[in-house]
Amino acid sequence: MEDPRANSPAGADLHLDLGGTRGRSDLVHALHESIRTGRLPAGTRLPSSRSLAKDLGIARNTVADAYGQLVAEGWLTARQGSGTVVADRILPVHRPTTPIPGAPHSANPAARAGAPHPTDPTARAFASSSGISLLEARKFRYDLTPGSPDVSTFPRSEWLAAARKALPAAPNDAFGYGDPRRRIELRENLADYLARARGVWADPDRILICSGYVQALNLLTDVLRLQGAQTMSVEEFGYNLHWDVIRSRGLQPTPVPVDEHGVRSDLLEGQAALLTPAHQMPLGVPLAPDRRTKAVEWARESGAILIEDDYDGEFRYDRQPVGALQALDPDRVVYTGTASKSLAPGLRLAWMVLPEHLMEPVLEVKRTTDLLTATLDQLILAEFIASGHYDRHVRRTRQHYRRRRDHLVELLAVRAPGVTVAGISAGLHVLVDVPGDAAELVARAKRQGLLIASLDRYAFTPDPAARQALIVGYGTPPDHSYNGALDLLCQILAV
C-alpha cells in the first residue's frame, strides 16, 4: 500500500502500523504519529471511516471515534462534504523531536549521558549556583572545587534496607498531603540527633523539613521581607548562590568582614544575618566564643534574626566540634542543617529549627512555594537515623575525608613547600595560600585538566589583588581520581 499524498482521493488507502491490538487508542496513536512525523501532510484527505474500518478489519465506530477525537484535538478537520482532512497547523518555530513509543528515545547522546548539549540552557542556569558551570565541569579530568561530598560514598544498600523497613510500615497518610512541617518520624529522630550531635535546642514541633538548604534560605528571606526586613548581613566570603537567593526575595545582602576568629559580629547590621559559625565557608575558621555571644546579643538588642547555616557540622577532625549557635538563643537563631554533605545533595533534604513565632509565617510562604516537601525519602531517612546507620555513615565518611585531608596536607608539605594550608580541622575543603597569582594558577590548572577555584571566586566583592589562595575541595572527587587530582595540583603548585 502507498502512503497517501495531499489531495489524494477520498477513498485512498491509508497505511497505518497498528501493532498488535487494534483498538481506538492504537488507531489514534498511529494517526498522531503519522501526522506528527509528516507522513500525513496538512490537507491530506483521509479515507471515510467505513472504508478505513474495512481495510483494517475493525469496527466502523472505532474509526469514527478515533477521527472524532483527532478532530477534537485539532489534528483533523471534518469539512462538510469534503470528508476528514489533516488540519493546517501553524507549526512551532522549533519542531520538537517526537519520541517513537517503544523504540529507544531520540534524545541527543549528550543529554542521554546527563551532560548538557551545545544549546543547553541549563549550563548557564547552573553556572553561578556552584560558581562552576556544569558544562565547564564536564570538560575537566579532575574536579577539586568545593561544595560537594564524594557522591560515590552514598550508602545505596543501607538506604534500600531502610526503605524496605520504612515504606511497608508507613501509615497511608504518609503518601498523602498531611502536616506541612512533614513527617513526624523524621522530625522526632532529627530532634534527638541534633540535640545529641550538634547541641541544638530541638523540638519536633519547631522543625520544618524542606527541599534543600536553598529553599530554607529562600523561605526565611521571604518571610523576613514580608515582616519589613530590607538588608541581611552576610559573611564577606561565601556562595554567590546564597546572595542571589537573598536578592531574589527582595533583600539586600551586606557583606561583613571575616578574620581568623570568624565573622566580625560587632559589625552586623540590618534585620537579619546569615552565618556559618561552626566552620566559615570558605575560610574554615570557627566563630570565636566572644563573637558568638556578641552576635546573639546584637540579635536580641536589635530584634534581628540569625540564620545559622550548619552545612557540614558533622565533619570535624582534630578539634572539638563546636555546638550550634542556636543553643544560645533558640528564639533569635534559626538553625538550618542538610543531608547534602552528610549523605547526598541529590536527596534535597534540609531542616530548619525555627523560633515559635516564625513557624506559621514560614509555613504560609512554603504553601505557595511548593506546598509540601516529598515524604518517601523522609521516612527512609528517619529509619536510617533510628537504626544507627546515619551515625555509622557519618563516622565512616569522616574517616574517609580525614584520610584524604591528611594525604593532601602531607603531599603539599613535601611537594609544594611554598604554600600554606589553612582551615584543615574540619569540613570537606582547605584553603591554600599561594605565593603567586591565584587566578594564574587556576588558569594553568584548567589548561591541564584540573578544575579548581580561587578564594576570589567566593568573595562578595571580588578583588584580584586581595589574599591569594585556592579553595581545594578534597571531598569532591571519587576515589579513583583523587590521587591523580592531587598529583596534578602538586605539579602546578610546585612550579
Residue among 1, 9, 57, 72 that touches a second copy (CB under 8 A): 72
Minimum distance, C-beta of residue 34 to a second copy, in the bound complex (Å):
13
Work out whether 392 is an interface residue with a second copy (CB under 8 A). no
Is-contact 210 219, C-beta < 8 A?
Answer: yes
Choose the binding region for a second copy from 293-301, 421-429, 438-446, 450-458 (rule: CB under 8 A): 293-301
Is-contact 116 134, C-beta < 8 A?
Answer: yes
Work out whether 57 is an interface residue with a second copy (CB under 8 A). no
Residue among 6, 15, 139, 192 that touches a second copy (CB under 8 A): 192
Work out whether 67 is an interface residue with a second copy (CB under 8 A). no
The contact pattern for a second copy, residues 193-212, with x = CB under 8 A and - = no contact, is: --xx--x-xxxxxx---xxx
Residue among 16, 47, 63, 75 that touches a second copy (CB under 8 A): 75
Choose the binding region for a second copy from 301-309, 320-328, 391-399, 444-452 (rule: CB under 8 A): 320-328
Minimum distance, C-beta of residue 121 to a second copy, in the bound complex (Å):
4
Residue among 245, 273, 489, 493 that touches a second copy (CB under 8 A): 245
Q: In terms of C-beta density within 10 A (0-12 exposed, 13-18 middle, 19 or more buried), how is residue 171 classed?
A: exposed
Cα–Cα distance, 116 to 138 (Å, whole number): 9
Instruction: Output the nine-digit C-alpha cell for 439.
Output: 587566578
Work out whether 174 is an interface residue with a second copy (CB under 8 A). yes
- Restricted to residues 331-360, the positions that interact with a second copy (CB under 8 A) are 331, 344-349, 355-356, 359-360
Instruction: Output the nine-digit C-alpha cell for 20.
Output: 498488535
Q: Which pairs from 49-57 meet CB under 8 Å and 24+ separation?
A: 49/84, 51/11, 52/14, 55/13, 55/14, 56/16, 56/18, 56/22, 56/27, 57/22
Comparison of 178 and 490: residue with beta carbon closer to a second copy:
178
**DSSP strand E in 207-271: where?**
207-210, 231-235, 252-256, 258-259, 262-263
Work out whether 164 is an interface residue with a second copy (CB under 8 A). yes
Work out whether 214 is an interface residue with a second copy (CB under 8 A). yes
Cα–Cα distance, 384 to 153 (Å, whole number): 15
Work out whether 275 is an interface residue with a second copy (CB under 8 A). no
Q: Which pairs from 457-461 meet CB under 8 Å and 24+ separation?
A: 457/131, 458/131, 458/237, 458/238, 458/239, 458/240, 458/281, 458/282, 459/236, 459/237, 460/234, 460/236, 460/237, 460/238, 460/243, 460/253, 460/255, 461/236, 461/255
Work out whether 37 is an interface residue with a second copy (CB under 8 A). no
Minimum distance, C-beta of residue 302 to a second copy, in the bound complex (Å):
15
Work out whether 21 is an interface residue with a second copy (CB under 8 A). no
Comparison of 20 and 121: residue with beta carbon closer to a second copy:
121
Work out whether 329 is an interface residue with a second copy (CB under 8 A). yes
Work out whether 238 is an interface residue with a second copy (CB under 8 A). no
- Restricted to residues 76-105, the positions that interact with a second copy (CB under 8 A) are 89-90, 92-94, 96-99, 101-102, 105
